[in-house]
Amino acid sequence: MSKKVKFAWTPKKAATAISAYMVGLFFIYPYINMLLTSLKPHGELYATPTTRLPKSWQFNNYLEVWSKAPVGNFLKASIVVSVCATLLVLLVSVPAAYYVARNRFKGRAAFLLLVLATQMFSPTALIIGIFREVKFFGQLDTWPALIVVNAGFNLAFAVWLLSGFFASVPVEIEEAAMVDGCTRFQALRRIVLPVTLPGLVTAVIFTFVSTWNEFTVALTIISSPARQPISTGITTFVGQYDVAWEYLFTTTAIAIVPVVILFISIEKYLVGGLTAGSVK
C-alpha cells in the first residue's frame, strides 16, 4: 500500500505561498471592485463616506442595463467581428506559416523577423492612415472594415507562432502519408493540423481576445450604435456631466463572460500551446 506523503510547511514554502496569493489578489482586485460597483445603486456611488461593499445590493442592474443601452447589439457586433477576424487570420496564416516552415527560401529568416517586427506597430499610431484607407474603399461604419483591420494586426503573430509549430512536425510523417496516397493538402489537414492543434488554439485565443478588446480602431471606424462592439459601446454610459458607473461596470462584467467561456472550453489546449509550441 502506498503511503500518504505529508506536506510540511517550511519558511520558504510559506513565503512562496503568501507571495503567490498576494500577486493573485493584486491582479484580481480590479475585477472584484468592478463586480461590487456593478451591484451598487447610482446614489451610493457618490455618497460619502464610500464603502467597498454595497449597502443596498442592486442585482436588478444586470436586468436594467439591457434597456438603458443596446447591449445585445454590442455583444452581437463583438461576436461577429471577433469570430470573423479569427477565421480570417486562420485562413491566411495556416498556409503562410506552413510554407515558411517547409521551405528554406532565401531571406526566410529576414521574413520571419519582419513579420515579428510588425507587432511593434500600434493601431493608435496608424489610425489616421487606417481611417483614410477605409474611407477610400467606402467601408466606414461597417463590420467588414473592422474585421479586416483586426485580422491584419493579428496575422503576423499567428504566422510567426504557427510556423514554429509546423516546423516541429517531422516532414517524414507527411512524406509517409503522401506515399499512401494523400495529397499535400490532405497531409496538412489530416496529419499536421491535428498534431499542431495546441498552436492553432493559441492563435485563436490571442486573435479573438485581441479583437474583442480592441478599442481605438472601432471607435474611429464605427459610428452607428447598432454596429458598435462592446468595447466602444460601454462609452454610452459616460455622459458630459455624469457617469453611470453601475451600468458601465455591469456591461463590462457581461462582456467578460464570452471570453471566460472560451478560455474554459479550450484551456487544456491553450496551456499545451503556450508550453510546447514555437520551439524546434
Residue 37 lies in a domain: no
pLDDT on residue 122: 76
Residue 24 lies in a domain: no
Number of residues that make up the chain: 280
- What the block records as the C-alpha cell of 149 is 483591420
pLDDT on residue 85: 96
pLDDT on residue 276: 52
CA 20 and chain centroid, separation: 25
Task: Give the Cα separation of 169 and 159 in Å (integer).
Answer: 16
Q: What is the CATH number of the domain that holds 224?
A: 1.10.3720.10
pLDDT on residue 134: 92
Residue 12 lies in a domain: no
Indicate the burial class of 275 (C-beta count within 10 angstroms; 0-12, 13-18, 19 or more). exposed
Residue 7 lies in a domain: no
Residue 29 lies in a domain: no
Task: Give the Cα separation of 139 and 136 in Å (integer).
Answer: 8
Residue 55 lies in a domain: no
Query: What's the number of domains the chain is made of?
Result: 1
Neighbours of 156 (CB within 10 A): 21
Of the candidates 60, 36, 61, 62, the residue with the CA atom closest to the CA atom of residue 50: 36
Residue 180 structural domain: 69-276
Task: Give the Cα separation of 175 and 13 in Å (integer).
Answer: 50
Task: Point out the residues of the chain with pLDDT beneath 70.
Answer: 1-8, 269-280
Residue 243 phi, psi dihedral angles, 5° rounding: -125, 125
What is the 3 state secondary structure string of the chain?
CCCCCCCCCCHHHHHHHHHHHHHHHHHHHHHHHHHHHHCCCHHHHCCCCCCCCCCCCCCCHHHHHHHHCCHHHHHHHHHHHHHHHHHHHHHHHHHHHHHHHHCCCCCHHHHHHHHHHHHHCCCCCCHHHHHHHHHHCCCCCCHHHHHHHHHHHHHHHHHHHHHHHHHCCCHHHHHHHHHCCCCHHHHHHHHHHHHCHHHHHHHHHHHHHHHHHCCHHHHHHCCCHHHCCHHHHHHHHECCCCECHHHHHHHHHHHHHHHHHHHHHCHHHHHHHHHHCCCC
How do residues 166-175 score in pLDDT, each as one tens digit? Answer: 888 888 888 8
Cis peptide before 41 (omega within 30 of 0): no
pLDDT on residue 6: 61
Residue 266 lies in a domain: yes
Residue 56 lies in a domain: no
Residue showing cell 499542431? 196
